[in-house]
Structure 1
Amino acid sequence: MHASEQSLEQKSFAQLRPLKISSEMLAVLACTLVVALAHASQGISLWLYGYCLVAGVACLLTCKARTTRHLWLTGMLHLCACTACLGSVAVAIGTPVFWFLPIGLVLSLPVSAMHAHPGHALSTGAAIWATLFAVVQPDFGRQLDLVLALVLITGSLLVATLVCSTFSKTRKDVFDLQYQLHDHRGATSPAVQGGEG
Structure 2
Amino acid sequence: MLFHYYMIKHINKYNDKNVMWHFYRINREDRERLHQHRSMILWFTGLSGSGKSTLASILEEKLYCRGVSTYSLDGDNIRHGLCKDLSFNSNDRSENIRRVGEVARLMVDAGLVVLVALISPYRIDRQIIRDMCIKDSFLEIFVDTPMLICKQRDPKGLYHQVDCKKIKNFTGIDSIYERPKQPDIYLDGRKTISELMNQLLDLVLVKIFK
Fold shared by both chains (TM-score > 0.5): no
Greater share of helix residues, 1 or 2? 1
Greater share of strand residues, 1 or 2? 2
Q: Is the radius of gyration larger for structure 1 or structure 2?
A: 1
TM-score, with normalisation over the residues of structure 2?
Answer: 0.30
